[in-house]
Amino acid sequence: MELIRTENLAKVYEDDGIKTEALRNINLSIKEGEFVAVIGPSGSGKSTLMQILGCLDRPTSGKYFFEEKEIHSYTDDELAHIRNYKVGFVFQSFNLLPRLSVLENVVMPLIYRGTPDKEREKKAKEVIELIGLSDRIDYQTSQLSGGQKQRVAIARALVTDPKIIFADEPTGNLDSKSGEVVLRFIQELNHQGHTIVIVTHESYVAQAAKRMLHIVDGEIDKDETVANQKIISKEGFSK
Protein backbone atom coordinates (compact mmCIF):
# COMPACT_ATOMS: atom_id res chain seq x y z
CA MET A 1 0.00 0.00 0.00
CA GLU A 2 1.20 3.48 -0.80
CA LEU A 3 1.92 5.37 2.39
CA ILE A 4 3.33 8.62 1.09
CA ARG A 5 2.95 10.42 -2.20
CA THR A 6 3.91 13.94 -3.19
CA GLU A 7 3.08 15.94 -6.29
CA ASN A 8 5.31 18.88 -7.21
CA LEU A 9 6.00 19.56 -3.57
CA ALA A 10 7.85 22.81 -2.86
CA LYS A 11 8.95 24.72 0.20
CA VAL A 12 9.99 28.33 0.15
CA TYR A 13 11.36 30.13 3.17
CA GLU A 14 11.05 33.83 3.37
CA ASP A 15 13.47 35.74 5.51
CA ASP A 16 13.49 39.54 5.43
CA GLY A 17 11.83 39.44 2.04
CA ILE A 18 14.50 37.17 0.61
CA LYS A 19 12.98 33.94 -0.64
CA THR A 20 14.93 30.74 -0.38
CA GLU A 21 13.70 27.68 -2.22
CA ALA A 22 14.40 24.79 0.10
CA LEU A 23 12.52 22.21 -1.95
CA ARG A 24 11.08 22.20 -5.41
CA ASN A 25 9.36 19.82 -7.69
CA ILE A 26 9.44 16.87 -5.35
CA ASN A 27 7.53 13.89 -6.72
CA LEU A 28 7.92 10.69 -4.82
CA SER A 29 6.08 7.74 -3.46
CA ILE A 30 6.91 5.54 -0.50
CA LYS A 31 5.17 2.25 0.10
CA GLU A 32 4.70 0.37 3.31
CA GLY A 33 7.69 -1.69 4.35
CA GLU A 34 10.24 0.39 2.48
CA PHE A 35 13.55 1.53 3.91
CA VAL A 36 14.48 4.79 2.24
CA ALA A 37 17.62 6.80 2.78
CA VAL A 38 17.40 10.47 1.87
CA ILE A 39 20.96 11.50 1.15
CA GLY A 40 22.46 14.80 0.20
CA PRO A 41 24.93 17.42 1.34
CA SER A 42 23.99 19.71 4.16
CA GLY A 43 21.69 22.50 3.06
CA SER A 44 20.27 20.39 0.26
CA GLY A 45 16.81 20.39 1.78
CA LYS A 46 16.69 16.79 2.98
CA SER A 47 15.72 17.71 6.54
CA THR A 48 13.02 20.06 5.27
CA LEU A 49 11.64 17.18 3.18
CA MET A 50 11.58 14.93 6.22
CA GLN A 51 9.79 17.56 8.29
CA ILE A 52 7.09 17.94 5.67
CA LEU A 53 6.72 14.19 5.19
CA GLY A 54 6.55 13.81 8.97
CA CYS A 55 3.76 16.39 9.20
CA LEU A 56 5.89 18.72 11.33
CA ASP A 57 5.73 21.38 8.66
CA ARG A 58 3.56 22.23 5.69
CA PRO A 59 4.65 22.57 2.05
CA THR A 60 4.42 25.97 0.40
CA SER A 61 2.90 24.45 -2.70
CA GLY A 62 2.23 21.08 -4.27
CA LYS A 63 0.32 18.19 -2.84
CA TYR A 64 1.16 15.78 -0.09
CA PHE A 65 -0.85 12.63 0.42
CA PHE A 66 -0.44 10.66 3.64
CA GLU A 67 -2.23 7.33 3.48
CA GLU A 68 -3.82 8.65 0.29
CA LYS A 69 -5.31 11.65 2.02
CA GLU A 70 -4.30 15.19 1.11
CA ILE A 71 -3.15 16.84 4.29
CA HIS A 72 -3.11 20.36 2.94
CA SER A 73 -6.37 21.33 4.63
CA TYR A 74 -5.55 19.58 7.91
CA THR A 75 -5.63 21.69 11.06
CA ASP A 76 -2.70 21.84 13.50
CA ASP A 77 -4.56 19.44 15.76
CA GLU A 78 -5.13 16.95 12.98
CA LEU A 79 -1.44 17.07 12.09
CA ALA A 80 -0.62 16.53 15.77
CA HIS A 81 -2.92 13.54 15.69
CA ILE A 82 -1.07 12.06 12.69
CA ARG A 83 2.28 12.63 14.45
CA ASN A 84 0.95 10.95 17.53
CA TYR A 85 -0.64 7.91 15.89
CA LYS A 86 1.13 7.33 12.59
CA VAL A 87 4.62 8.80 12.78
CA GLY A 88 7.69 8.25 14.89
CA PHE A 89 10.71 10.54 14.94
CA VAL A 90 14.34 9.94 15.80
CA PHE A 91 16.43 13.10 15.89
CA GLN A 92 20.16 13.69 15.59
CA SER A 93 20.24 15.34 19.00
CA PHE A 94 18.01 12.69 20.63
CA ASN A 95 15.64 15.27 22.13
CA LEU A 96 15.03 13.33 25.30
CA LEU A 97 13.89 15.10 28.45
CA PRO A 98 16.99 14.83 30.64
CA ARG A 99 15.31 14.73 34.04
CA LEU A 100 12.88 12.00 33.14
CA SER A 101 13.69 8.32 33.36
CA VAL A 102 14.03 6.08 30.35
CA LEU A 103 10.56 4.72 30.97
CA GLU A 104 9.02 8.18 31.35
CA ASN A 105 10.58 9.36 28.12
CA VAL A 106 9.40 6.35 26.18
CA VAL A 107 5.91 6.52 27.55
CA MET A 108 5.43 10.18 26.64
CA PRO A 109 3.69 9.88 23.25
CA LEU A 110 1.11 7.60 24.85
CA ILE A 111 0.43 10.25 27.52
CA TYR A 112 -0.78 12.55 24.76
CA ARG A 113 -3.00 9.75 23.55
CA GLY A 114 -4.57 9.42 26.97
CA THR A 115 -3.60 5.76 27.23
CA PRO A 116 -4.18 4.51 30.80
CA ASP A 117 -1.09 4.20 33.02
CA LYS A 118 -0.81 0.43 33.16
CA GLU A 119 -1.37 -0.16 29.50
CA ARG A 120 1.19 2.39 28.38
CA GLU A 121 3.77 1.21 30.86
CA LYS A 122 3.41 -2.34 29.62
CA LYS A 123 3.81 -1.17 26.03
CA ALA A 124 6.82 0.99 26.90
CA LYS A 125 8.50 -1.88 28.73
CA GLU A 126 8.07 -4.05 25.67
CA VAL A 127 9.86 -1.64 23.36
CA ILE A 128 12.56 -0.91 25.93
CA GLU A 129 13.16 -4.63 26.11
CA LEU A 130 13.37 -4.67 22.33
CA ILE A 131 16.15 -2.08 22.21
CA GLY A 132 17.94 -3.84 25.05
CA LEU A 133 17.80 -1.23 27.78
CA SER A 134 15.58 -3.02 30.30
CA ASP A 135 18.35 -2.80 32.89
CA ARG A 136 18.43 1.02 32.53
CA ILE A 137 14.70 1.55 32.65
CA ASP A 138 14.72 3.78 35.73
CA TYR A 139 17.87 5.72 34.84
CA GLN A 140 17.56 9.38 34.07
CA THR A 141 18.39 9.76 30.42
CA SER A 142 21.11 12.26 31.27
CA GLN A 143 23.01 9.34 32.81
CA LEU A 144 23.08 7.37 29.56
CA SER A 145 25.69 7.29 26.80
CA GLY A 146 24.91 8.78 23.41
CA GLY A 147 24.20 5.43 21.83
CA GLN A 148 21.89 4.45 24.65
CA LYS A 149 20.09 7.78 24.38
CA GLN A 150 19.43 7.25 20.71
CA ARG A 151 18.10 3.76 21.44
CA VAL A 152 15.71 5.31 23.98
CA ALA A 153 14.64 7.74 21.26
CA ILE A 154 14.00 4.79 18.94
CA ALA A 155 11.93 3.13 21.64
CA ARG A 156 9.93 6.34 22.04
CA ALA A 157 9.29 6.40 18.29
CA LEU A 158 8.27 2.74 18.34
CA VAL A 159 5.98 2.77 21.33
CA THR A 160 3.02 4.14 19.35
CA ASP A 161 3.23 1.44 16.64
CA PRO A 162 3.71 4.10 13.98
CA LYS A 163 3.13 3.56 10.25
CA ILE A 164 6.44 5.16 9.49
CA ILE A 165 9.59 6.18 11.36
CA PHE A 166 11.62 9.20 10.32
CA ALA A 167 15.21 9.29 11.47
CA ASP A 168 17.09 12.55 10.93
CA GLU A 169 20.83 11.87 11.01
CA PRO A 170 20.35 9.36 13.82
CA THR A 171 24.05 8.53 13.96
CA GLY A 172 25.25 12.11 13.51
CA ASN A 173 26.12 12.67 17.16
CA LEU A 174 27.45 9.19 17.82
CA ASP A 175 30.82 7.52 17.55
CA SER A 176 31.01 4.92 14.81
CA LYS A 177 30.60 1.99 17.17
CA SER A 178 27.36 3.18 18.77
CA GLY A 179 26.26 4.55 15.40
CA GLU A 180 26.44 1.02 14.07
CA VAL A 181 24.40 -0.32 16.94
CA VAL A 182 21.69 2.27 16.33
CA LEU A 183 21.72 1.57 12.62
CA ARG A 184 21.45 -2.14 13.30
CA PHE A 185 18.33 -1.55 15.37
CA ILE A 186 16.81 0.54 12.61
CA GLN A 187 17.56 -2.11 10.04
CA GLU A 188 16.14 -4.74 12.32
CA LEU A 189 12.92 -2.74 12.62
CA ASN A 190 12.64 -2.63 8.85
CA HIS A 191 13.10 -6.41 8.73
CA GLN A 192 10.15 -6.65 11.07
CA GLY A 193 8.05 -4.69 8.60
CA HIS A 194 8.37 -1.08 9.75
CA THR A 195 8.55 1.61 7.10
CA ILE A 196 11.62 3.77 7.61
CA VAL A 197 12.94 6.99 6.16
CA ILE A 198 16.43 7.90 7.24
CA VAL A 199 18.02 11.24 6.46
CA THR A 200 21.80 11.30 6.24
CA HIS A 201 24.72 12.87 4.50
CA GLU A 202 26.93 9.83 4.97
CA SER A 203 26.78 7.25 2.24
CA TYR A 204 27.78 4.36 4.48
CA VAL A 205 24.65 5.01 6.52
CA ALA A 206 22.57 5.21 3.35
CA GLN A 207 24.01 1.88 2.26
CA ALA A 208 22.07 0.24 5.07
CA ALA A 209 18.80 1.20 3.39
CA LYS A 210 17.07 -0.46 0.46
CA ARG A 211 16.43 2.67 -1.54
CA MET A 212 18.36 5.89 -1.89
CA LEU A 213 16.94 9.32 -2.71
CA HIS A 214 19.64 11.80 -3.64
CA ILE A 215 18.65 15.37 -2.94
CA VAL A 216 20.65 18.16 -4.48
CA ASP A 217 19.65 21.83 -4.20
CA GLY A 218 16.15 20.96 -3.09
CA GLU A 219 15.44 18.58 -5.93
CA ILE A 220 15.49 14.82 -6.29
CA ASP A 221 18.59 14.18 -8.27
CA LYS A 222 18.51 10.41 -8.29
CA ASP A 223 16.13 7.76 -6.93
CA GLU A 224 17.77 4.34 -6.93
CA THR A 225 17.46 0.96 -5.36
CA VAL A 226 20.47 0.02 -3.26
CA ALA A 227 22.06 -2.77 -5.14
CA ASN A 228 23.98 -4.32 -2.27
CA GLN A 229 22.27 -3.40 0.95
CA LYS A 230 24.77 -3.62 3.74
CA ILE A 231 23.45 -5.82 6.45
CA ILE A 232 24.74 -4.83 9.86
CA SER A 233 25.29 -7.73 12.18
CA LYS A 234 26.32 -7.57 15.79
CA GLU A 235 29.91 -7.50 14.67
CA GLY A 236 29.37 -4.46 12.46
CA PHE A 237 28.88 -4.11 8.75
CA SER A 238 29.07 -7.38 6.89
CA LYS A 239 30.91 -7.20 3.65
Partner 1 sequence: MILFHDILKMTLRDLAVRKNRSALTILGIVIGITSIMVVMSVGKGAQEYVLGEIQRFGPNNVFILPGKEPSGPTGAMGTLLNDSLKERDIDDLSSKSNVPQAVSVIPYVFGSVSLSVGQEIERSMIIGSTVGSQKNFDLKLAEGRFFDEFDLNDKARVVIIGDEIRKKLFENSEAVGQKINIKNLDFQIIGVLAQKSKGSFIDFNDSLIAPYTAIQQDILGIRHFQRVAVEAQSEESIPTVVADIKMTLRENHKIEDPEDDDFNIQTQEDIAKTVGTITGILTVLLFSVAAISLVVGGVGIMNIMLVSVTERTREIGLRKSIGATNKNILTQFLAEALFLTISGGIIGVLLGTSLTYLGIYFVQEFAQIDFPFTFSFNGAVIGILVSSFIGLAFGVFPARQASRKSPVEALRYE
The residue ranges that bind partner 1 (CB under 8 A) are 51, 54, 56-57, 76-77, 80-81, 83-85, 89, 91, 95, 97, 99-100, 108-109, 111-114, 116, 156, 160
Q: Which CB, 30 or 110, lies closer to partner 1?
A: 110
Least distance from C-beta 222 to partner 1, angstroms? Answer: 26
Q: Which CB, 51 or 148, lies closer to partner 1?
A: 51
> Strand pairing partners for 7?
63
Nearest to 105 by CA among 79, 130, 128, 80: 128
Least distance from C-beta 108 to partner 1, angstroms? Answer: 6
Least distance from C-beta 21 to partner 1, angstroms? Answer: 17
Contact predicate 145/165, CB 8 Å: no
Q: Which CB, 100 or 226, lies closer to partner 1?
A: 100
Alpha-carbon distances, residue 185 vs 36, 175, 188 (angstroms): 15, 16, 5
* Helices (H), ranges, 172-216: 176-191, 203-206
Q: Which CB, 84 or 173, lies closer to partner 1?
A: 84
Least distance from C-beta 183 to partner 1, angstroms? Answer: 21
Q: Which CB, 72 or 222, lies closer to partner 1?
A: 72
Q: Which residues contact 47 (CB under 8 A, 6 or more apart)?
A: 168, 199
Taking the C-alpha atoms of residue 228 and residue 214, their distance in angstroms, rounded to an integer, is: 17
Coil, strand or helix: which one is 177?
helix
Least distance from C-beta 66 to partner 1, angstroms? Answer: 14
